[in-house]
Amino acid sequence: MQGGGTNTSVELGTAPPLAPIEAAWESIRAGLRRDLGARTFDGWLKPAEIGGFDPDNGLLDVVMPSQFMADWVRSHFGDRLTLAWKTVLPIVRDVRIVAALDAPRPAPLLILDESPPPSERDPAAPNFDPRYRFETFIVGKANEVAATAARTLATSPTVGFNPLFIHGGTGRGKTHLLHAIGHTFCAHNRGSRVVSMSAEKFMVEFIRALKENDTIGFKQRLRNADLLLIDDVQFIAGKDSTQEEFFHTMNEIIGAGRRLVITSDRAPQDLDGIAPRILSRLSWGLVADINPADYELRFNIIIAKLEALPGVEMPRNVVDFLARRVTSSIRELEGALNRIGAYALMTGRTIDVAFVEEVLANVLRANQRRISIDEIQTQVAEHYRIRKAEMTSARRAREVARPRQVAMYLSKQLTPKSLPDIGRRFGGRDHTTVIHAVRQIEKLRASDAELDADIRLLTRQLEG
């Protein structure tokens, strides 16, 4: 399923007769309406229209009226749509869901060549996703180095590093930065030659060039680029001939003083199946990692994304709840926001914590980290600067009793342990002692702002 990836080398060929596609679409629509129900279908899939089709790679565009709807349909029905098309009309091998206003126009491999047509001279015209710009990339401690390096490479006349290697897990913003670099570099360097493709596409194009005896043309297209962007380099692992060509392409680009940006889900030293000389070359430049977003970054991302969801009002306590509970990736966090917004608009319900828990039940379960009572005792003891042994001691002095009650309360809130289990972990205390502690802390939180702040901080630390 393609939805805003970095492969911008699609070029439309002569489309097959429209009738089979239209007939297939009517059949697919009828099936979706039957499977999903009239309300869901009419609200989200009925407005969809057929866009362009590339017979060379079997890529079909499904066009939605707005970016919000495109994002939501891609997230919730993308795989279903792709499977339906493959089943009903096998010439369609992949589906890309795009927005009507922002749908990327098919373009050749070179996004901008030395003499672009007048209609493509505008730097906003290249096939980079219009949503993915530096202005929309929220910076925090987890991604600060990568974001700064990306902007420097895209804007500065000279850079002190080449290549730029950005790595991080799925959904952390690597593709966003890659597109942002493309947008900004094109804007600062009119008439420049920019090539953006996935490593998998690099391999496919290279193999095709070998079969068609056009390796010279393939090499010229890539090695003459002023900026070469390669996404997901891990996919060439174990492909010896592709790696050979990739290595020489890297050398040509870097040796000529042109710019190279590569992304991967792992650091160079963790890439198995990649030739050592390639790894060495990658390490010569700047290696910038994107770490998992911390609570502050997730919170700021939610606030920023809410501005793009008109009509969606989300109280601060709900933003805090989401930032604490959806921690797996930024992509999943954005998907969760879209889902909340969509359900709220469809049902007319107010967005509160209970509503979010209902809508995101599966997401929240998947993101729930197993927190142990031992972790809670350690964290609480460090916060209140007491010995961890006091958690199980018989002392009743206030300076140890209150932290012990806080730890019991958090154990009840953050673990699935029963009250007797919790009591046993706190020095063999009875379950009634745990009940008293939980009720006492709940009561105090309503009147003691400092204690409430302590609980919030400890919860964020334990969950994040």
Sequence ranges of the domains in the chain: 18-99, 118-290, 295-367, 373-463
Strands 49-54 and 59-64: antiparallel
The pLDDT score that the predictor gives to residue 15 is: 39
Name which of 300, 259, 251 is nearest 278 in CA terms: 251
> Closest by alpha carbon to 101, among 68, 147, 150, 58?
68
Angle, helices 398-414/449-463, rounded to nearest 10 degrees: 50
State yes or no: pLDDT of 366 exceeds 60: yes
298 close to 333: Cβ distance less than 8 angstroms:
yes
How much of the chain exceeds pLDDT 70, in percent?
89
Instruction: Give the pair of three-digit tokens for residue 382.
Output: 């460090």
Domain 18-99 identical in fold to domain 373-463: no
User: What is the homologous superfamily of the domain 118-290 according to CATH?
Assistant: P-loop containing nucleotide triphosphate hydrolases (3.40.50.300)
Q: pTM score, two decimals? A: 0.56
Rounded distance between C-alpha atoms, residue 272 and residue 253, angstroms:
24
| Least confident among 50-54, 306-310, 381-385, 390-394 | 306-310
CATH of region 18-99, choose from 3.50.50.60, 3.30.420.40, 3.10.180.10, 3.30.300.180: 3.30.300.180
| Residues 100-112 pLDDT 10s | 754 443 332 223 3
Look at residue 101 in the predicted model and tell me its pLDDT: 55
What pLDDT is stored for residue 369 in this prediction?
64
- Average pLDDT value for residue range 82-94: 84
Q: How many angstroms separate the CA atoms of 108 and 126, rounded?
A: 10
Q: Residues 6 or more apart from 256 whose CB is under 8 A from it?
A: 223
Q: Poorest-confidence range of 96-110, 208-222, 318-332?
A: 96-110
Lowest-confidence region among 12-16, 23-27, 34-38, 215-219: 12-16
Reported in sequence order, the residue ranges of 144-186 that DSSP labels E, i.e. its strands, are 164-168
Lowest mean pLDDT among 123-137, 227-241, 291-305, 373-387: 123-137
The CATH number of 373-463, from 1.20.120.80, 3.30.200.20, 1.10.1750.10, 3.40.50.300, is 1.10.1750.10
Residue 464 has what pLDDT? Answer: 61
Average pLDDT of the chain to the nearest whole number: 82
Question: Between 1.10.8.60, 1.25.40.10, 3.40.50.300, 3.90.1200.10, what CATH number should domain 295-367 receive?
Answer: 1.10.8.60
**pLDDT above 50: residue 375:** yes
Note the pLDDT of residue 150.
95
Residue 43 confidence (pLDDT) above 90: no
Give the Cβ contact number of residue 442 at 10 Å.
13
Q: What is the mean pLDDT of residues 262-280?
A: 88
Predicted confidence (pLDDT) per residue in 149-189, tens digit:
999 999 998 888 989 999 988 888 999 999 999 999 998 98
